[in-house]
Structures are given as structure tokens and as C-alpha cells.
Amino acid sequence: MSNLSLLTDFYQLSMMQGYWDNGLGEDEVVFDVFFRKNPCNNGFTLIAGVESVIDYIENLAFDEADLDYLKSVGFQDGFLDKLRHFRFTGTIDGVPEGTVMFPQEPVMRVRANCFEAQLIESTILNLINYQSLIATKAARICEAAQGDAVFEFGLRRAQGPDAAILGSRAAYIGGCVATSNVLAGQQFGIPVVGTHAHSWIQKFDSELEAFRAYAKTYPDKCLLLVDTYNTLKSGVPNAITVFQELRQQGYEPKGIRIDSGDLSYLTKVAREQLDAAGFPNAAIIASSDLDEDKIHSLKMQGARIDSWGVGTNLITSSNCPALGGVYKLVAAEQKGVLEPKIKISDNPQKITNPGYKKVTRIYDESGLFALADLIMLEDEQIDETEPLTIFHPIYTWKTKTFRRYSLKELMIPYFHQGKAVYQKQSVRNVRSHAQLELDSLWPEYKRLQFPQIYKVDLSKKLWKLKQEMMHQHQHQEP
């Protein structure tokens, strides 16, 4: 990854200079990264972008061109000299990439001095918010496809090259089996796919001639786009003619792709035509501005589609263009002691959970199915030999007791005292982890519409701390 040191909001640097100028830059603080709402009205969020964060932190340094620019916009020489020698020396923990998470849970926690922790906020959020959004969108689309292969075709509609490349990676983590993006394939080892466009057909004097030319070049992987002129009257019949010619040469066709029209009707009739001609194994691939809702609808209509190519609505998450992840101060050094901090708001969702925390996931006894999550203070431990009772953090009379269960703490180290300790994984391994995470959720949490709300509760100790701090601030009001 290139040096992203100046990829930050101006006010981060303004605060950093203020901390330095007031002698507060070395004070230790803790920030939590979390989100308040799942994207797309989904039941969960699939975390992606962790390795991008690791690369960013490892390459964080200011060169002389950076410092010259910052001087030109008004920063002081002493502050710039501090940046000249900047290296991240703090500790960062978080969940493994590909982990399923829920609102209000710390996805990542940063423990560092004020100077360092403030700088990295904007870029961490940029990397985690977008990639987690696209991974979650991909997971929704793959859920709608019910096991059919989904291909990511979003390059030309992505908001720039970075979104196209990192979006391809996130979509693969979320369950897509391949991408059309060749650079993403090279960088991350994602399988790449693609056949031809309508322009290929238009270049030739006839559709049949175009199909024959393509089959000549790719006899062993011939998949033809059949909707350039008339899908059922010319496209599929011409494809069948070429498929018969290939078979005579000892090759079996891969199938057809349809990119427009009534996909339910067209694929049903196309399937009949292919089967009648002796090609029951020729696949039908559909594209054309698909998303999870259209795929679900086509499935309900009995469309004969084997694989799905999804572009714009995946790479842009068109119906939900942003994940609102935030970076909030939850503890700060005061007189040499790390004290919990809380943000109070008239909106209950925006009241933060104070302190240095971790997330523990409660599974059934087999460890296969997730039952609930518990946000706890770092020093808390649970005796798994005893029943465990959790309660709703707002409607506290709502309780749940587990008697046969297993536990897993979700956070692992990313950086320890400035040194990267996170073991990077291949994107295929991250994708496998994500699939295991998704498989651990009951179907009710993965519904596309009105999913069941997963239980995320606070430990009694953390809940009590939060209540005490809220009351304390309330009594301090004039």
C-alpha cells in the first residue's frame, strides 16, 4: 500500500498540534471502532479491511514533501519536526478479518498516546467502513442466490480504482466466487472470469458469425452472450448451432449469458431450448443490474439461472452507500491513571460504552452456533462451569440464562507497542473464515427482510459503570 499518511481529516492534525502545544500528546487514550447500525437493514455486518489497516499503520510516516505541504497550510515548525520522526508505538486489538459483528460492539480498539491515536482515526474508518459494507452486501446477495455462484462485475461502476480493487476483495470475502477485475485477481489471488460483450457481436456481420469466431478462439470454455438482438429467436438458437459444432469437434459448451429483458421468462424458455437440443448441462448466467432483492424475486419465480453476475448494486451498495462506523474515546489518562470516558447524547444510541473493553461470543455447547454477545471490561472473566445470565442493556427485565454453552473472546492483537503481530491471511483463508462465521448464525439472523435482532448485551459490571457515569454527568449539569 502507498503511504497514506496525509489521508486524514484536517482537524485530526489540528488536534494533534493542540495536544503537542499543550503538553498532552503523550497522555494515553483508548478509542473504540464500532458501528451503530447494520447496513442495508441487515441482521449483521461482516468485517473487512483489517489487512488494509495493518498495511496503513506499518507504512505510516511523513516525508519532507508532506511536511512542506503541512507548513504551507499553517502548521508550526516544532509540530512538523515531531511528525518528521513519527512512528506508531501503540497497541491495537480487533476481530479477525471476516468476523460477523453487530451494532455497538468494539470491532477494534486503539490504545496509544493522544498524538498517535488521533491521527489514525479517519483512515481506519475509511478502510473498515467501505470494505465491511461491500463484504456485507456480497453476503446478502449470496444468501439470496441460495448456493448459486455469484460473480462480482463492478469494476466499471465503482467509485474509482481503489473502490474497485478493495471492493472486489471485500466481495470475495463476502461470498462471491470470482471477479471480472483483473488487477484485483492479480493482487489478491481472486479467481477472474469473463467472456465477451455485446460489442463483440456487433463487430461481425451476423450473430452466428460472431459466436463461431468466439468458439474458435475458446472452444473449451465457450460461453456466449445471447441477448444482443433477440434472445429467444436468434441468440439461443445461434448458440445451439455453435454448441452442436463444438460437440462435433469434441468440446462441450459452458453455456449462455443473458444481460437484459425479463430474466424469469427468458431463462425458462432458454432452458427448454437448450435441453431440447441436448445441452442440459449448459449453464445459464444472468446479469443486468441485479441485487439481492431481484435475485430473491427471480428465485421465487422459478427462473432457470445457474449463476449470477452482479456489478453496480454490489460494488456501490447502491441502496445503502455507507456504513456509519465511528471512532470514539472510551478511556483517557488522568494523573497517570487510565480513566473511563463516556459520550452523552439525547439519542440513546449515541451514548457510548465506557472503558477498556472486549467482546465475548456465547455459543451453544458444540461451539457451532452463536447465541449472543457480551461486551465486557477487559479484566472480567466468566466461569463456564456456572450458569450465565445476560440482560438487555436498556430493557433490563429481559434476561436470558445459558446453562450449556461455550465462549470465545473475539479480539486478537494487531499491534503491540508499535509492532505488527497480526498474522496476515490469504484472501481465500479470510473468505473461509467469513463463511464459518456466517454458518454460525441461525437463518433468522440472515433474513433479507426484517431479520431477528441478535442479542448484544453488556456485562453487569460494564452496565453499572455506564449508569454511574451517566448519572454523574447528569448531576453535573447546571
> Contact at 8 Å (CB) between 158 and 164?
yes
DSSP-based three-state secondary structure for 124: helix
Q: Domain ends where: 251, 272, 303?
A: 303
Per-residue pLDDT tens over the stretch 409-465: 999 999 999 999 999 999 999 999 999 999 999 999 999 999 999 999 999 999 999
Q: How many angstroms from the chain centroid is the CA of residue 358?
A: 21
User: Is residue 122 a part of any domain in this protein?
Assistant: yes
DSSP β-ladder status, 28-35 and 108-113: antiparallel
Per-residue pLDDT tens over the stretch 157-186: 999 999 999 999 999 999 999 999 999 999
More confident residue, 349 or 220: 220
> Contact at 8 Å (CB) between 414 and 47?
no
Which CATH number belongs to the domain containing residue 234 in this structure? 3.20.20.70
Q: What is the pLDDT of residue 213?
A: 98
Q: Domain ends where: 303, 335, 355?
A: 303
Please give the average per-residue pLDDT across 345-364, as a whole number: 93
Q: Using the CB atoms, write b or e for 371-383: b if 16+ within 10 Å.
A: bbbbbbbeeeeee
Q: What is the pLDDT of residue 477?
A: 58
Residue indicated by cell numbers 497514506: 4
User: Is residue 184 a part of any domain in this protein?
Assistant: no
Are residues 294 and 327 part of one domain? no
d(CA 358, CA 455): 16
Assign 1 a pLDDT band (cuts: 50, 70, 90).
low
Q: C-alpha grid cell for residue 95?
A: 476481530
Per-residue pLDDT tens over the stretch 228-262: 999 999 999 999 999 999 999 999 999 999 999 99
Are residues 337 and 211 part of one domain? no
Are residues 71 and 213 part of one domain? no
> Contact at 8 Å (CB) between 3 and 94?
no
Domain extent, residue 426, equals: 10-134+321-476
User: Is residue 344 a part of any domain in this protein?
Assistant: yes
Number of domains in the chain: 2
User: Is residue 158 a part of any domain in this protein?
Assistant: no
To the nearest 10 degrees (0 to 180), the angle between helices 121-145 and 292-300 is 10
Task: Classify residue 186 as exposed, middle or buried by CB count within 10 Å of its CB (0-12, 13-18, 19+).
Answer: exposed
Are residues 366 and 326 part of one domain? yes
User: Is residue 422 a part of any domain in this protein?
Assistant: yes
> Would the pLDDT of 335 be above 80?
yes
Are residues 331 and 278 part of one domain? no
Task: Classify residue 161 as exposed, middle or buried by CB count within 10 Å of its CB (0-12, 13-18, 19+).
Answer: exposed
Please give the average per-residue pLDDT across 302-323, as a whole number: 97
Which CATH number belongs to the domain containing residue 366 in this structure? 3.20.140.10
Per-residue pLDDT tens over the stretch 181-239: 999 999 999 999 999 999 999 999 999 999 999 999 999 999 999 999 999 999 999 99
DSSP-based three-state secondary structure for 111: strand
Are residues 444 and 337 part of one domain? yes
DSSP-based three-state secondary structure for 322: coil
> Would the pLDDT of 366 be above 80?
yes
Task: Select from 106, 71, 65, 168 the least CA-distant residue to 355.
Answer: 106
> Contact at 8 Å (CB) between 363 and 406?
yes
> Would the pLDDT of 474 be above 80?
no
Are residues 457 and 398 part of one domain? yes
Residue indicated by cell numbers 454448441: 243
Q: What is the pLDDT of residue 347?
A: 83
Are residues 372 and 460 part of one domain? yes
User: Is residue 340 a part of any domain in this protein?
Assistant: yes
> Would the pLDDT of 2 be above 80?
no
Assign 476 a pLDDT band (cuts: 50, 70, 90).
low
d(CA 169, CA 340): 37
Are residues 339 and 433 part of one domain? yes
Q: C-alpha grid cell for residue 232?
A: 429467444
Are residues 331 and 262 part of one domain? no
d(CA 42, CA 140): 8
Share of the chain above pLDDT 70, in %: 99
Share of the chain above pLDDT 90, in %: 95
Q: What is the pLDDT of residue 348?
A: 81
User: Is residue 308 a part of any domain in this protein?
Assistant: no
User: Is residue 392 a part of any domain in this protein?
Assistant: yes
Are residues 463 and 354 part of one domain? yes
> Would the pLDDT of 478 be above 60?
no
Assign 336 a pLDDT band (cuts: 50, 70, 90).
confident
> Would the pLDDT of 4 be above 60?
yes
> Would the pLDDT of 331 be above 60?
yes
Please give the average per-residue pLDDT across 311-317, as a whole number: 97
Which residues are CB-contacts of 469 (< 8 A; sequence separation ≥ 6)?
340, 342, 354
Are residues 292 and 216 part of one domain? yes
DSSP β-ladder status, 456-458 and 370-377: parallel
Q: Average per-residue pLDDT in the chain?
A: 96
The partner residues of 329 in beta bridges, in order of sequence, read: 31
Which residues are CB-contacts of 157 (< 8 A; sequence separation ≥ 6)?
311, 312, 315, 316
